[in-house]
């Protein structure tokens, strides 16, 4: 979680597993596209920095955050990745729609993690304002896309074998 005490993009490079042998799926919501495009940019930059080859990254888009679970399942079945990153952004509005979407996508991604033998990474911003989303998608609190990519590398390494430490 980003706060004034923790930047989403801060991590110890020595603690990040090598990604050269990984196949990564990424599903990105089109809703709040300026934010989600920045999340994708952050994730891609981090994956490539740690060795994931561009031709081993499979990206698909879905209309909104709620559709991330279907898109993630599609990617898992279509491309057989080692890990799938789900990127989206839900901003609080005037109705309870925010609550239903956030709960649905959280439960959906959790279910995928339980039903499949690969990790699905929750890279979804759930903010009260657009400014909070901007601050967490490359702004003053870093980029949740970076954090999701680091989490993906660590979870794929967990699945593949013992850590390097």
pLDDT in tens, 125-158: 999 999 999 999 999 999 999 999 999 999 999 9
- pTM, two decimals, is 0.92
Exactly one of 6, 97, 159, 160 is catalytic; name it: 97
Q: With a cut of 80, say whether residue 1 has pLDDT above it.
A: no
Print the SS3 string covering the chain. CCECCECCCCCCHHHCCCCCCCCEEEEEECCCHHHHHHHHHHHHHHHHHCCCCHHHEEEEEECCHHHHHHHHHHHHHHHCCCEEEEEEEEECCCCCHHHHHHHHHHHHHHHHHHHCCCCEEEEEEEECCHHHHHHCEEECCEEHHHHHHHHHHHHHHHHHCCCCC
pLDDT in tens, 83-125: 999 999 999 988 888 889 999 999 999 999 999 999 999 999 9
To the query of whether residue 58 is one of the catalytic residues in this protein, the response is: no
CATH number 3.60.150.10 given to 19-160: no
- In the prediction, which pLDDT does 11 show? 84
Q: Where are the domains positioned within the chain?
A: 19-160
Report residue 162's pLDDT band, with 50, 70 and 90 as the boundaries: low
């Amino acid at each position: 979680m980003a706060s004034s005490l923790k930047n989403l993009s801060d991590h110890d490079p020595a603690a990040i597993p090598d990604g050269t042998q990984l196949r990564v799926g990424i599903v990105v919501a089109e809703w709040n596209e300026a934010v989600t495009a920045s999340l994708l940019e952050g994730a891609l930059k981090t994956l490539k920095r740690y060795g994931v080859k561009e031709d081993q990254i499979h990206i698909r888009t879905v209309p909104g955050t709620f559709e991330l679970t279907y898109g993630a399942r599609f990617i898992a079945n279509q491309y057989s990745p080692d890990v799938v990153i789900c990127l989206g952004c839900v901003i609080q509005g005037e109705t309870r729609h925010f609550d239903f979407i956030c709960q649905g996508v959280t439960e959906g991604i959790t279910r995928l993690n339980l039903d499949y033998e690969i990790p699905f990474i929750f890279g979804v911003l759930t903010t009260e304002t657009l400014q909070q989303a901007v601050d967490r998608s490359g702004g003053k609190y870093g980029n949740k896309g970076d954090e999701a990519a680091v989490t993906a590398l660590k979870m794929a390494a967990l699945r593949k074998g013992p850590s390097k430490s």
